[in-house]
Amino acid sequence: MIEYFGKHGCKQEQSESRLSKTCPLRSVKDMKNTSKGTCDYILTEDKNVVVTRWMDNSVVTVAFTVYTDLPVSNASHYSASEKKKIGIPRPNCIGNYNEFMGGTDQMDANINVYKIGIRGKKWWWSIFT
């Protein structure tokens, strides 16, 4: 599905649960034993999809049609051992995803808070009042 949308110019993100089990990335178990900021990525044969696995507080796996891993920027994380914020490497696709995710999170929160019950004949009143 992600390749189909990518061919039509749509931005698409895909989570780990929808990836094939034969995807040749490091396993989640192996990534958990690495340090924060460790990244592994692959390109599909037609180079339309980038699949990235990154170690943050937990393992993050995403697939994108528009972003790549390069350039690598720094994400600030608080280090309990050093008692200060430190920078860890973060792929470009993860940074862009985090930057533009705010609107979607806000929409999901509003849908949960302001539910409209379509049980009666006048359900549409709550939209206009």
Query: Quick check: is 64 in a domain?
Result: yes
Kindly compute the dihedral angle of the four CA atoms of residues 10, 11, 13, 19, in this order, to the nearest 10 degrees: 40
State pLDDT tens for residues 33-75.
Answer: 887 778 777 777 666 777 788 787 778 777 777 666 677 777 7
pLDDT in the model for residue 6:
55
pLDDT in the model for residue 10:
54
Q: What is the spatial distance between Cα 39 and Cα 97, in angstroms, rounded to a whole number?
A: 16
Cβ partners under 8 Å of residue 82, min gap 6 = none
Query: Quick check: is 129 in a domain?
Result: no
Query: Quick check: is 87 in a domain?
Result: yes
pLDDT at residue 77 tops 70: yes
In the chain, the number of structural domains is 1
pLDDT in the model for residue 24:
75
Query: Quick check: is 75 in a domain?
Result: yes
Q: State the chain's mean pLDDT as an integer.
A: 72
pLDDT in the model for residue 84:
86
Query: Quick check: is 121 in a domain?
Result: no
**Residue 78 lies in domain:** 2-110
The pTM assigned to this predicted structure is 0.57
Q: In angstroms, how far is CA 94 from the centroid of its own chain?
A: 6
pLDDT in the model for residue 58:
79
pLDDT at residue 15 tops 70: no
pLDDT at residue 14 tops 80: no
